[in-house]
Structure 1
Amino acid sequence: MAKEQPDHLTGTEARAGTTPHMARVALFGGLGLVIIIFAIIVLAAG
Protein backbone atom coordinates (compact mmCIF):
# COMPACT_ATOMS: atom_id res chain seq x y z
CA MET A 1 0.00 0.00 0.00
CA ALA A 2 1.48 3.34 -1.05
CA LYS A 3 1.65 6.34 1.26
CA GLU A 4 -0.71 9.13 0.26
CA GLN A 5 1.00 11.98 2.17
CA PRO A 6 4.68 12.95 2.03
CA ASP A 7 6.91 12.49 5.09
CA HIS A 8 7.73 16.21 5.31
CA LEU A 9 5.25 19.08 4.95
CA THR A 10 6.05 22.74 4.50
CA GLY A 11 4.62 25.26 6.97
CA THR A 12 1.83 26.27 4.59
CA GLU A 13 0.92 22.67 3.84
CA ALA A 14 0.86 21.80 7.54
CA ARG A 15 -1.48 24.73 8.25
CA ALA A 16 -3.57 23.79 5.22
CA GLY A 17 -3.80 27.41 4.12
CA THR A 18 -2.44 30.87 4.55
CA THR A 19 -2.43 33.17 7.56
CA PRO A 20 -4.28 36.49 7.38
CA HIS A 21 -2.44 39.66 8.31
CA MET A 22 -4.79 40.50 11.19
CA ALA A 23 -1.99 40.43 13.78
CA ARG A 24 -0.11 43.13 11.89
CA VAL A 25 -3.22 45.31 11.73
CA ALA A 26 -3.90 44.82 15.45
CA LEU A 27 -0.30 45.64 16.43
CA PHE A 28 -0.08 48.80 14.35
CA GLY A 29 -3.57 49.89 15.38
CA GLY A 30 -2.74 49.42 19.06
CA LEU A 31 0.56 51.27 18.69
CA GLY A 32 -1.22 54.15 16.98
CA LEU A 33 -3.80 54.36 19.76
CA VAL A 34 -1.11 54.38 22.45
CA ILE A 35 0.72 57.22 20.68
CA ILE A 36 -2.49 59.25 20.32
CA ILE A 37 -3.51 58.70 23.96
CA PHE A 38 0.00 59.57 25.18
CA ALA A 39 -0.04 62.78 23.11
CA ILE A 40 -3.43 63.75 24.57
CA ILE A 41 -2.17 63.15 28.12
CA VAL A 42 1.01 65.18 27.52
CA LEU A 43 -0.92 68.08 25.94
CA ALA A 44 -3.56 68.07 28.70
CA ALA A 45 -0.92 68.13 31.46
CA GLY A 46 1.06 70.94 29.87
Structure 2
Amino acid sequence: MDAIPRQLRVTMATRRNDQIIETSTEARQGEPGPSVAALLTVSTGLAILILGVIWFVFFRT
Protein backbone atom coordinates (compact mmCIF):
# COMPACT_ATOMS: atom_id res chain seq x y z
CA MET A 1 0.00 0.00 0.00
CA ASP A 2 1.10 3.53 -0.68
CA ALA A 3 1.61 5.95 2.16
CA ILE A 4 -0.30 8.68 0.24
CA PRO A 5 -4.05 8.17 -0.29
CA ARG A 6 -5.21 8.07 -3.88
CA GLN A 7 -7.19 11.34 -3.52
CA LEU A 8 -4.08 13.26 -2.45
CA ARG A 9 -1.74 12.09 -5.18
CA VAL A 10 -0.64 14.87 -7.50
CA THR A 11 -0.46 14.13 -11.19
CA MET A 12 1.16 16.39 -13.72
CA ALA A 13 -0.39 17.29 -17.03
CA THR A 14 1.19 15.35 -19.86
CA ARG A 15 2.00 16.50 -23.35
CA ARG A 16 1.05 14.40 -26.38
CA ASN A 17 1.49 15.58 -29.97
CA ASP A 18 1.96 19.22 -28.87
CA GLN A 19 -1.29 19.13 -26.82
CA ILE A 20 -1.52 19.24 -23.04
CA ILE A 21 -3.63 16.42 -21.62
CA GLU A 22 -5.21 17.10 -18.20
CA THR A 23 -7.70 15.36 -15.99
CA SER A 24 -11.07 17.06 -15.45
CA THR A 25 -10.01 18.12 -11.94
CA GLU A 26 -6.84 19.77 -13.22
CA ALA A 27 -8.78 21.61 -15.93
CA ARG A 28 -11.31 23.00 -13.40
CA GLN A 29 -8.82 24.35 -10.86
CA GLY A 30 -9.31 27.95 -11.97
CA GLU A 31 -13.07 27.84 -11.50
CA PRO A 32 -14.39 31.17 -10.20
CA GLY A 33 -16.00 30.99 -6.80
CA PRO A 34 -18.73 33.01 -5.13
CA SER A 35 -16.40 35.94 -4.44
CA VAL A 36 -15.86 36.46 -8.17
CA ALA A 37 -19.61 36.38 -8.80
CA ALA A 38 -20.17 38.93 -6.02
CA LEU A 39 -17.46 41.20 -7.43
CA LEU A 40 -19.01 41.08 -10.91
CA THR A 41 -22.49 41.78 -9.50
CA VAL A 42 -21.35 44.75 -7.42
CA SER A 43 -19.22 46.25 -10.19
CA THR A 44 -22.06 45.92 -12.73
CA GLY A 45 -24.48 47.55 -10.30
CA LEU A 46 -22.09 50.42 -9.66
CA ALA A 47 -21.55 50.93 -13.40
CA ILE A 48 -25.33 51.13 -13.95
CA LEU A 49 -25.68 53.56 -11.04
CA ILE A 50 -22.87 55.82 -12.30
CA LEU A 51 -24.24 55.84 -15.85
CA GLY A 52 -27.69 56.66 -14.46
CA VAL A 53 -26.30 59.62 -12.50
CA ILE A 54 -24.41 60.87 -15.58
CA TRP A 55 -27.55 60.57 -17.69
CA PHE A 56 -29.64 62.36 -15.04
CA VAL A 57 -27.16 65.25 -14.67
CA PHE A 58 -26.33 65.85 -18.35
CA PHE A 59 -29.17 64.48 -20.49
CA ARG A 60 -32.46 64.95 -18.67
CA THR A 61 -34.92 67.25 -20.36
Greater Rg over alpha carbons, structure: 2
Q: Which runs of 4+ in 1 moved over 3 A?
A: 7-11
Identity %: 15
Unpaired runs of 5+ residues, structure 2, are 12-22
Gaps of 5+ in 1: none
Count of residues in correspondence between the two structures: 39
Q: TM-score scaled to structure 2, two decimals?
A: 0.48
- The two structures have a TM-score, normalised by structure 1, of 0.60
Any residues of structure 2 matched to 1:2-41 within 5 Å, and which? 2-3=1-2, 4-6=4-6, 11=25, 20-41=33-54
CA RMSD of the aligned region, Å? 2.8
